[in-house]
Structure 1
Amino acid sequence: MKGLRLYLPPFAPDTSGAAAVLYPLGGMVVIVDAGGCAGNICGFDEPRWQEEGAKSAVFSAGLRDMDAIMGRDDKLIEKVRLACEEIEPQFIAFIGTPVPAVIGTDYRALTRMAKKATGLPAIAVDSDGTKLYDAGGGKALLALCRAFAKGQTAGHCGTIGLLGLTPLDFSAGERDRLADALREEGWSAVCCYDRLTDFTQPCCRKNLVVSPLGLPAARFLAEHCGIPYEIGLPGAFLNDLAAKIASGLAKEDHVLIIHQQVLAGALRRALRQGGHHGPITCATFFEQPAGTSEPGDAVFREEDEFQAFVAGGRFTAIVGDPSLRRALPSFGGRFLALPHFAVSGTTSAS
């Protein structure tokens, strides 16, 4: 049944993916909602609020019934103008939710009004709360590139960019290990696209797409700024992760890896290079871009699809977020933890 969940939690939606991309950039992020979506983002889908204590200006539009019905955008813009006088953001970003999607909010008009009222750049992400985090995060990265990077040229230094690096896919520790692994490979600096100047003054010689949500921006930067890109993860990072996973596997295990497709596929290659002889299948509940999968890989849209795939797959080991284990009460093989915050809202391996 479409949308039925008996075991799995709701995954991070597109609104949360967009907010995760925008969180560290110094802008004013306005969730165009009545308050509920902003509460979910700040309370459940953004670990930096609790873990790092880093500041970010995230507001709810606080839409009321008549505001939504009558389309009173002028009231929202006045709120934005007054808030700008208090916090002095570098830009304004509107993130869509189900309410503006239903009433057909004109985001281009909204950004024009915001620019006129505040004198600041403004972008909008037309997320609607019904898709998953990678769709919204990809739209946010692309909107930033279109607004700030178009017309810029690539850098010629030894800097590599990481596109798609958000805490919904990678913990703070994994982020640090990724940067260390790239420096071991000879890169002098790592750009995480977590400052506005990373878009306005691109300095990367190459971009590395570490999750599917970074792919639309990578394509844009390649076309308009001449920055080439690859999809994957650095070898040193993968070797450490693969060694940890392999320690819980038998060499002949039939393995299913469930995560975002870039990490899952990269981990598969590292396990094979490390000597795993059994078949390895990758699966995801999120985007599976062309060229990142092998025959037999799967994309799940519903909980029962996941259960049926595992039941018919003869897998002896599953690698995935621990919360997925609840949906497989009859699975008798090994289940190895690979936490995915976008799935469970936690980085815990238990």
Structure 2
Amino acid sequence: MMNPQKNAMKQTASVISTYSADTFGVCSALYELGGMVVIHDPSGCNSTYTTHDEPRWYAKESLIFISGLTEQDAILGSDDKLIREIVSAAHELRPHFICLIPSQIAHMIATDCRALCRIIEKKTGIPSFTLPTNSMHYYERGIFFALEKLAGFVCKKAAQDGFPGLSSRQRKQGGSPRQDEPAAAINLTGSAPLNVNLLGATPLDFAMNGSIDTVKDWLRAQGHTVKSCWAMDSSLDEILASYDADANLVLSYGGLGAAKILQEKLGIPYTASVPIGGTLPNCSRPLPALPKRQTAAKKYYIIGETVFAQSLAAALETVLQRPFTVIVPMETDASLLREGTLQRTDEAELLPVFKDAALIIADPLYQPICPPAATFIPLPHVAFSGRIYLDDIPNLVRPDVFAAFVKKILARLPEHEV
């Protein structure tokens, strides 16, 4: 018989931190697009997001608010007050859109945010929508929903502009929409010049260390043009006009929903990878064969976001000729996972896996639960440790920085592992 107390402990973080919430993922994805995001919450969500998870807060303005939900509001209901305050703020600030998202309490009392948004849109004339957040899921889920919503707006704009569903390059080649092509069909290395969208870029996964600019530079070096970046350093108008792109490069799970919609509706194929060290690995499969002497019982682990961690694993496998196992601790999609990738979130799930670890690459806040015998290489992740290690996050897309990272790993490994 299952021990309910023991099962409950599986979801308890007694040592390590937790990842940023889905509401914060929405805020991060929509931060630069000129909209107004309202978290329906008493007070804590906005302060936690701005002080821990948003490095742009003191550099770029954004309209991120909380509703100030009180206990009396939760018990008696005060939707008219919430509507009145949002409408008043919208008339003053004139955002491009309004996004109302529930946190735990609003979710538990079943606030009908969709109905509220319909009323707000009717009163303001500003597009208003909600997303299915509750602050009990991780940030990637929020990014996924936000960018998926943006993709819907892009498809609507394409229809309004009479877009035929083919990019200019596809039309010149007499092609047809490529809804049925697999994600890996687009090869961005050595291919003809393409117009490319970047999907799933936020500071929660890509710190403000120049990594997104380096990805753009890498694409340009391949002869491609960056059409838009969802959603860093691109305006809402640029994103809405990106429907005629030739390909989408998905940089995180958060961009996958948008990629699938754009592929289905507009025929834009996509691939999911990050050009770690200046190369774009096929992170959907491990290396086909490794020398037997290097397949010891001790294992090499990387903990992190699906696309980035698997891209890093593929790049390190190529250089070090060792198999790496990726551990994804947040929401993801099976279509992105390469063979052997583990999904583990709680300490109770991670501790048994770490017993056979020779090397662990993860955010520094994971180190307390890692075995002393394992070599630990810190790789800070804003979505996990916030701003604590912000200055220590390397831009691994740069070849020289990646080479230095590899050198650091080799210097830390025991002699018999080198």
Does TM, normalized by the shorter one, top 0.5?
yes
Question: How far did 1:235 drift?
Answer: 5.8
Quote the Cα distance in structure 1 between the aligned partners of 2:76 and 2:240.
37
Q: Is the 8 A contact 2:157 2:240 kept in 1?
A: no
Q: Is the 8 A contact 1:149 1:199 kept in 2?
A: no
Question: How far did 1:171 drift?
Answer: 1.2
Question: How far did 1:296 drift?
Answer: 3.0
C-alpha spacing 1:238/1:17, structure 2 compared with 1 (3 Å): farther
Question: How far did 1:231 drift?
Answer: 1.0
Question: How far did 1:170 drift?
Answer: 0.5
1:112-141: per-residue Cα shift (whole Å, max 9, x none)? 111111110112112001010011111111
Percent identical: 34
1:298-329: per-residue Cα shift (whole Å, max 9, x none)? 11121121111111xx221111111111222x
Aligned to 2:258: 217
Aligned to 1:231: 272
- Aligned residue pairs: how many? 334
Are 2:236 and 1:196 aligned?
yes
Single out whichever of 75-84 and 13-22 deviates more from structure 2.
75-84
C-alpha spacing 1:46/1:182, structure 2 compared with 1 (3 Å): same
**TM-score when normalising by structure 1:** 0.89
Which secondary structure state, in structure 2, belongs to the residue aligned with residue 296 of structure 1? coil
C-alpha spacing 1:323/1:235, structure 2 compared with 1 (3 Å): closer
Rg comparison, structure with higher value? 2
Are 2:330 and 1:286 aligned?
yes
Aligned with 2:130 (options 104, 124, 127): 124
Aligned to 2:409: none
Single out whichever of 36-45 and 17-26 deviates more from structure 2.
36-45
Quote the Cα distance in structure 2 between the aligned partners of 1:127 and 1:168.
17
Aligned to 1:46: 54
Aligned with 1:297 (options 341, 358, 377): 341
**TM-score when normalising by structure 2:** 0.75
Quote the Cα distance in structure 1 between the aligned partners of 2:77 and 2:97.
23
Aligned to 1:3: 11
1:208-264: per-residue Cα shift (whole Å, max 9, x none)? 111111111110111112221111123654589xxxxxxxxxx95842111111111
Question: How far did 1:83 drift?
Answer: 0.9
Amino acid at match of 1:260: E
Quote the Cα distance in structure 1 between the aligned partners of 2:366 and 2:276.
27
Q: Is the 8 A contact 1:182 1:190 kept in 2?
A: no
Amino acid at match of 1:279: P
Quote the Cα distance in structure 2 between the aligned partners of 1:349 and 1:134.
22
Quote the Cα distance in structure 2 between the aligned partners of 1:86 and 1:256.
51
Question: How far did 1:72 drift?
Answer: 2.1
Q: Is the 8 A contact 2:10 2:348 kept in 1?
A: no
Q: Name structure 1 gaps, 5 residues minimum.
A: 241-250
Which secondary structure state, in structure 1, belongs to the residue aligned with residue 134 of structure 2? coil
